[in-house]
Structure 1
Amino acid sequence: MVTHRLDHARLADRVVVLAGGRVVEDGGFTELASAGGPFARLCEEAARVSR
């Protein structure tokens, strides 16, 4: 599946994050959300917007 929605990404076994046409992160949702990288920043921003 390809998605920009975090609620859909949460359902995946594996999340691959692309930036500039390159893979910048690869792993499970929880792992990446707590790793401090681009995906974690995306999750943090989504949480701020939803408040």
Structure 2
Amino acid sequence: MCHCERSKDSSGGLDSIIANDNLTGQGVATIKSSDKVFKTAGCQVWVKSR
């Protein structure tokens, strides 16, 4: 299982989370220029699409 999270800062507080999800298999994450942190756990290598 893969967990990914977009955050507005690196404080680790619940109020800093913009979006998060648990993925099984292939997934897509849209990272906005206003996001400050993107972190994952248990995921395969992410590939940037154009």
Question: Same fold by TM (over 0.5)?
Answer: no
Q: Which has the higher contact order (CA 8 A, sep 6+)?
A: 2
Taking structure 2 as the reference length, what is the TM-score of the superposition? 0.25
- Greater per-residue helix proportion: 1
- Greater per-residue strand proportion: 2
Taking structure 1 as the reference length, what is the TM-score of the superposition? 0.25
